[in-house]
Amino acid sequence: MDALHGIAGTSWGKWLGFVTAVWVQCISGNNYTFSNYSDAIKTLMGLTQLQLNGLSVAKDIGKAFGILAGLASDKLPTPVILLIGSVEGLLGYGAQWLVVSKTIKPLPYWQMCVVLCMGGNSTTWMNTAVLVTCMRNFRRNRGPVSGILKGYVGLSTAIFTDICSALFADDPASFLLMLSIVPAVVCGFAMLFLRESLKSGEVQDEESDRIDGRCFAAINTLAVAIAVYLLGFDLTGLSSNKYVSKVFVAVLSIFLLSPASVPIYLAITGKKKKSELDVEAPLLISQDNTETAATTEAAAAVAEQAVELDKVKKRPEIGEDHTIVEAVKTTEFWVLFVSFLCGVGTGLAVMNNLGQMGVAMGYSDVSIFVSMTSIWGFFGRIGSGTISEHFIKKNGLPRPIWNAASQILMAIGYVVMALALPGSLFIGSIVVGICYGVRLAVSVPTASELFGLKYYGLIYNILILNLPLGSFLFSGLLAGLLYDSQATKTPDGGNTCVGAHCYRLVFIIMSFACLVGFGLDLLLSYRTRTLYLKIQASKRSQRPLK
């Protein structure tokens, strides 16, 4: 164990941890794959659309219990958090596999809700372990870190879907078996190497910044290559050829392993990089490292006393470390929270109902729409993280402005889907995927910049309460009730609806919700413009913020 801690303290060991975090994210998007097997559950259990959407909401409610992962992130080591997530996912998705494979009789509805909730909650432990650890290890590159990690989450849906199509001909039972076993195996490996760097107190020099930039660029390039490869497989329809499908899976496996070349290269070349530690503010650099140990300890003691006295006098300012109680007392938190709800809530409604939307519009196979949403969601995540970071460094442009742009584009996408023109579902799934990806990748570092990293694990999990809340409001209530009002009964006790009218009103209402989110994101950009100018100055000068 000491040897593993020693590895984590090296430059290449920190990057090895980041690569294992990427692999964890590759398998932690299983919460977005419900459309791939929802129709099998609906048929097997004889559910109405409202009841099926209730199961979808139960899956997303699992994320509400992510608060437990947030609380644990400051108390438990990263490997333990990963272990909890992997075991919970094994049980949750394993139980669903037993039902769909007809190994056991269908569980009562409430028990299905419980196992779906467990599966949804498992990803919160994985995501919290990955995001909190990597954000602290790469404090000066939060945008790229968030973009890459959230990008791979987006790709994970396409990875699972395409592998299942290639090897198991879209069999929902085989798909659920993959969702239960593969994440547990990957998390087991990540437990060995993903941990907070022991050298996070050292200064990040210009050379280290340059090397980090090259490493991020390399992993970004590999991620784009994977996305293009998956996109090509989906558009060419090669899954029908079993030999080509096996070759596809083999090449994809090589692509997924390729990020390991980065820490291997650093280990071979012996590059020595250092990482910074923010002591008092999210983007501050440590004191001059020429000070003696005694002077440093004395200064730290004085600073700690000053901070405690300052806390008694006033609340922390935006940009400083906030407790969750202090954060929820700010206007910025609630503006970010509600705008996030408008974006991810409507996006989840589409992803959870893609199966039924495809059937309503006359498609027999909706797997391509699931993959398109995932792949283009990746481009939205990875692109927005890097681009937003670039414009902060260049001119201090507030990061939330990119959320505003995604909201207006998403509103247009819903209008296109409501028109139900030929190809509108295909176009809409791409637009929703991109904008949903931007929303996730931009909001993650924004929260850390506004409220600090000290309690980030808990604040992040409070923020993503919007996932179950949005799923309940837009998917469980809005989409479920309006669909059932248009549907006709089937002999097995369920219902079905065919035609553009099934979801038209749903799309129109969600477009208005996105316009509300657009206005809130503009407001947040205006309120944080001074903070981002300070962050820009700090990144350029590498001096503490005042």
Under a CB-based contact definition with an 8 Å cutoff, are residues 8 and 198 in contact?
yes
Quickly count helices (H) and strands (E) in the chain.
23, 2
Written as one string, the DSSP assignment of 491-503 is TTS-EE--SGGGT
CA 316 to chain centroid: 28
Q: How many other C-beta atoms are found inside a 10 Å radius of the C-beta of residue 541? A: 10
Burial of 387 per CB tally in 10 Å (0-12, 13-18, 19+): middle
CA 349 to chain centroid: 16
Instruction: Give the pLDDT confidence of 286-344 residue by residue, as tens digits.
Output: 444 444 444 445 445 545 554 454 544 467 888 888 888 899 999 999 999 999 999 98
CA 204 to chain centroid: 27
Distances (CA, A) of 426 to 226, 232, 367, 370, 473: 21, 15, 11, 10, 24
Written as one string, the DSSP assignment of 149-176 is HHHHHHHHHHHHHHHHHHHHTT-HHHHH
**Kindly report the CA angle at 213 between 207 and 219, in degrees rounded to 5?**
140
Residue with the two structure tokens 């038209």:
504
CA 36 to chain centroid: 19
Written as one string, the DSSP assignment of 346-413 is HHHHHHHHHHHHHHHTT-S--HHHHHHHHHHHHHHHHHHHHHHHHHHHHH---THHHHHHHHHHHHHH
What 3 state SS string does 170-190 have?
CCHHHHHHHHHHHHHHHHHHH
Distances (CA, A) of 104 to 41, 95, 98, 107: 13, 9, 6, 8
Phi, psi of 496 (to 5 degrees): -150, 155
Q: In the 8-state DSSP scheme, what is residue 271?
A: -
Q: How far, in Å, CA of 155 to CA of 378, rounded?
A: 6
Entry pTM: 0.69
Q: Using only the alpha carbons of the chain, give its radius of gyration.
A: 23
Please report, as a single letter, which amino acid is at residue 139. R
Q: What is the pLDDT of residue 166?
A: 77
For residue 489, give the H/E element and its range: strand 488-489
Residue 407: name the closest of 309, 524, 269, 315 by CA: 524
Q: What would the two tokens of residue 478 be? A: 């809005």
Q: What is the pLDDT of residue 4?
A: 52
**Helix, strand or coil for residue 279?**
coil
Q: How far, in Å, CA of 428 to CA of 408, rounded?
A: 13
Q: How far, in Å, CA of 364 to CA of 438, rounded?
A: 30
Please report, as a single letter, which amino acid is at residue 82. L
What is the per-residue burial (b if ≥16 Cβ within 10 Å, else e) of 347-378?
A: bbbbbbbbbbbbbbbebeebbbbbbbbbbbbb
Instruction: Give the pLDDT confidence of 498-513 residue by residue, as tens digits.
Output: 887 888 888 999 999 9
Q: How far, in Å, CA of 321 to CA of 307, rounded?
A: 11
Counting as low any pLDDT under 50, the low residues of the chain are: 1-3, 201-203, 271-296, 298-299, 302, 306-307, 309, 311-313, 543-546
Under a CB-based contact definition with an 8 Å cutoff, are residues 388 and 399 in contact?
yes
Q: How far, in Å, CA of 28 to CA of 160, rounded?
A: 10
Q: How far, in Å, CA of 363 to CA of 465, rounded?
A: 33
Q: What is the pLDDT of residue 303?
A: 52
